[in-house]
Structure 1
Amino acid sequence: MTIEQLHSLYKVHHAVSTDTRNITSDSIFFALKGERFNANEFAGQALESGANWAVVDEAKYVVDERYILVEDVLATLQELARYHRRQLNIPFVGITGTNGKTTTKELLYAVLSQRFKTYATKGNLNNHIGVPLTLLSIDDSIEMAVIEMGANHQQEIAFLCDIAAPTHGLITNVGKAHLEGFGSFDGVKKAKGELYDFLKMQDGVLFLQGDNEYLHGMEMQRGISKTVRYGFSSENDIVGRLEYANPLLCVSWKIRDVDEYHTVQTQLTGSYNTENILAAIAVGHFFGIDDAHINQGILAYTPTNNRSQISRTAHNTVIADYYNANVSSMEAALANLAVIEAQHKVIVLGDMFELGEDAAKEHRRMVEKALAIGADRTIFVGEAFHAYQSPKAEFYETTDNAKEALSERPIVNSTVLLKASRGMAFEKLMEVL
């Protein structure tokens, strides 16, 4: 079966699934393989659950004409998504970056949805499987698409761009993350810059944080002609300023060479999110959304999934920011806590993963930065942090150890920062805060 023929089937049965637990009727099941599973084994179960077709790559599982045998199921899923994308003549905004991808994506969706029927990546489906599934969720009624793209190795963004073909794009920032895969900070810039390479090649539109020296340098290297700049200096097309962050952000912005500022209260915490807000404003303004509706979209967005999320418990105000962590995002979280006005502050940091040979150095640096804030209590959790000791802080090897300590000596009436890599399971600490 050719991709064109498979796409014809998809147009009739346009729901796509890769998980037998979430089969919908009138759908196509793609039997993907992983390190610990082979979904070819479950193709029959998918059909029994309501799928119309099952795409497999092992002949022994083919029972009847409802099975579509291909050479490689994942490659077929990706190629189908690539072919489907080429049938959609709408703007596609691609987003990548070290930090803030998902928040920026959600903000863009909130703003663009004020005027256009918009589809954005669900959750964090931003990899070599998630991006194809996202594209195959977009039907002919959609007027605008926002695609998040993640990577931890070279050439992954280039590969995702080849599938998603963004017409517009932005990199939120570049920082020290996934250094095991990228090799170095220069490796991070090179990998994220693959989005710029694609936009340059396709004569696409770049939205650029014009005050970020790394992003500005990356853009200058490529000479992208269609660039919309946002930031804090007057040279940007969209100029913003943070009014306050105590702890929720209030941001003002204006168009370059226009005196009038527009002010919007947000439901976001973290001064670092000001840039993400300005990115959404720049995209919305570029696509003709008026100032009032831009602000309406920003105001309406409420963060979830423990990304810069304010949680008020019976005893404390918690900045829940433990969906993930790397060097730059942890630095930003600490800098934000430093400027928040609160009578009592507590810092709880957990290990950062995938830092490779820089792990020891960067964890030591975070200990120093956190202690410099002078919080009422400073707590470090995890094996990497536990390698350092200080009489000014508390150190626990595991999250369970920290939870037990916090149960015995509770935190009350404080603003608490929780920041750690996802694998540290900091949601356990919420139970004792």
Structure 2
Amino acid sequence: MWDLREAAEVLEAELIRPKPPFGVKGACADSRRIQPGQIFVALPGQKHDGHDFLAEAFQRGAVGALVSRDPGIGHNLILVPEVKKALWDLARWRRESLDFIAVGITGSFGKTTAKELLAAALSTAYRTFCAPESYNTEIGVPLSLLCVPSNTEIGVFELAESDPEELRRLCELLQPWAGMITAVGPAHLALLGTVEKAAETVWALAEALPEEGVLALSWDFHELRARVERCDGFCLRFGKTEEADFFPKAIRDDDPQGIRFVAETPAGEVPVKLRLLGAHRAVLACGAMALAWGLGIPGKRAAMAMAEVPALPHRLELKSAPFGWILDDSFNANPVSVQAA
């Protein structure tokens, strides 16, 4: 929890209509989803302006708002010249105020699944914060940082890879100590141009890690393997190939309740059962096990925790219907993800 009054001082901003309580539990930019105790970030958009939804935000329990103008609604308004810049300044202040290990996950696909699996494994030994949903952009990451509890030991964050400069900025903000690169492939090529450019973009995460840091790297893509000599930290390889440090075998994906496989690890074989569908999820689970192992979590403990991760919304989510079943994979799509589905 952090204090609105201190935040206003950090931003050198006026706190309009101050009123207790001043403690903040997090931040949200969507008035429909704000939770009691959070600050509402009134971002301007192409179609809507967050300032128009202040009343709804306060009705839902917001303790204050970050605004660039005072519409005369609510209390504890931190008045700043530019809301997005202030959001980043607050997130940077919070990151520097908190002493936790930040873990960044990026890649052309598989980021959210890997994030949820890794956070489950890490939570067996650490007070772990897992960034919500796919909050991986220049808005989502600072919002996530403002939600990190003060007693957090490890935080797991997803980082967008559609723009190389954006990823570098996100890494600078997050200050990751460990990271995972899940894959490179034909996603966001309208922005990046080629798979080679995508590989160079996601490699910004590896370059952001300190020398004593840990990287879990997908070994299934030659564009990533070619860069491994540029990794200064401890690199753990995962993938389908037996050349990797962590790889799945004996995969069974014929059960609608989830997949089963055996993970080959440096410490031996580990049986794994997931509540997730899709044989390709076994590779992501091996990536989560690899990074968890690099952070001190034994493979069997990681496997037990990952077994409790539920199906993710709109990502190979099996839903019952009057006529049978629907396999919902509507969240996003690229050629590799569609083929895997």
AA at the equivalent of 1:326:
N
- Is the contact made by 1:168 and 1:199 (CA closer than 8 Å) also made in structure 2? yes
Aligned mates of 2:247, 2:278 — CA distance in 1: 19
- Select the residue among 21, 30, 48 that pairs with 2:32: 21
Matches within 5 A, 1:318-357: 318-333=326-341
- Is the contact made by 2:26 and 2:148 (CA closer than 8 Å) also made in structure 1? no
Say yes or no: does 1:300 pair with 2:308: yes
- Select the residue among 130, 144, 164 that pairs with 2:174: 164
AA at the equivalent of 2:30:
D
Aligned mates of 2:218, 2:63 — CA distance in 1: 46
AA at the equivalent of 1:31:
A
- Is the contact made by 2:136 and 2:159 (CA closer than 8 Å) also made in structure 1? yes
Aligned mates of 1:324, 1:299 — CA distance in 2: 24
After superposition, what is the alpha-carbon deviation per residue over 1:380-409, rounded to whole angstroms, capped at 9, x for unaligned?
Answer: xxxxxxxxxxxxxxxxxxxxxxxxxxxxxx
Aligned mates of 1:231, 1:139 — CA distance in 2: 33
Alpha carbons of structure 1 residues 216 and 2: separation in structure 2 relative to 1, 3 Å: farther
Give TM-score, length-normalised by structure 2: 0.84
Q: CA deviation at 1:64?
A: 9.4
Aligned mates of 2:220, 2:61 — CA distance in 1: 52
Q: CA deviation at 1:55?
A: 2.1
Q: Secondary structure of the residue that 1:137 maps to in structure 2?
A: coil
Bigger radius of gyration among the two: 1
- Per the alignment, residue 81 of structure 1 pairs with 91
Structure 1, unpaired ranges of 5+: 334-433
Moved more, 270-279 or 293-302: 293-302
- Per the alignment, residue 3 of structure 2 pairs with none
Alpha carbons of structure 1 residues 316 and 132: separation in structure 2 relative to 1, 3 Å: same
Say yes or no: does 1:213 pair with 2:222: yes
Q: CA deviation at 1:303?
A: 1.2
AA at the equivalent of 1:165:
Q
Moved more, 166-175 or 211-220: 211-220
Say yes or no: does 1:33 pair with 2:44: yes
- Per the alignment, residue 348 of structure 1 pairs with none
- Is the contact made by 2:105 and 2:159 (CA closer than 8 Å) also made in structure 1? yes
Q: Secondary structure of the residue that 2:293 maps to in structure 1?
A: helix
Alpha carbons of structure 1 residues 11 and 186: separation in structure 2 relative to 1, 3 Å: farther
After superposition, what is the alpha-carbon deviation per residue over 1:231-255, rounded to whole angstroms, capped at 9, x for unaligned?
Answer: 3555533343243222542221233
- Select the residue among 191, 200, 206 that pairs with 1:181: 191
- Per the alignment, residue 431 of structure 1 pairs with none
- Per the alignment, residue 66 of structure 2 pairs with 55
Moved more, 97-106 or 148-157: 148-157
Aligned mates of 2:293, 2:181 — CA distance in 1: 18
Q: Secondary structure of the residue that 1:254 maps to in structure 2?
A: strand
Q: Secondary structure of the residue that 1:125 maps to in structure 2?
A: coil
Matches within 5 A, 1:262-277: 262-277=270-285
Give TM-score, length-normalised by structure 1: 0.68
- Per the alignment, residue 286 of structure 2 pairs with 278
Moved more, 232-241 or 76-85: 232-241
Aligned mates of 1:266, 1:95 — CA distance in 2: 20
- Is the contact made by 1:175 and 1:328 (CA closer than 8 Å) also made in structure 2? yes
Moved more, 126-135 or 324-333: 324-333
Percent identity (aligned): 28
Q: CA deviation at 1:326?
A: 0.6
Alpha carbons of structure 1 residues 138 and 183: separation in structure 2 relative to 1, 3 Å: same
AA at the equivalent of 2:254:
N
- Select the residue among 255, 263, 266 that pairs with 1:253: 263
After superposition, what is the alpha-carbon deviation per residue over 1:307-344, rounded to whole angstroms, capped at 9, x for unaligned?
Answer: 123345455454432221112212333xxxxxxxxxxx
AA at the equivalent of 1:292:
K
- Is the contact made by 1:155 and 1:194 (CA closer than 8 Å) also made in structure 2? no
Count residues with an aligned counterpart.
Answer: 327
Say yes or no: does 1:125 pair with 2:155: no
- Is the contact made by 1:266 and 1:298 (CA closer than 8 Å) also made in structure 2? yes
Structure 2, unpaired ranges of 5+: 1-7
Q: Secondary structure of the residue that 1:119 maps to in structure 2?
A: strand
- Select the residue among 10, 22, 25 that pairs with 1:3: 10
Alpha carbons of structure 1 residues 35 and 224: separation in structure 2 relative to 1, 3 Å: same
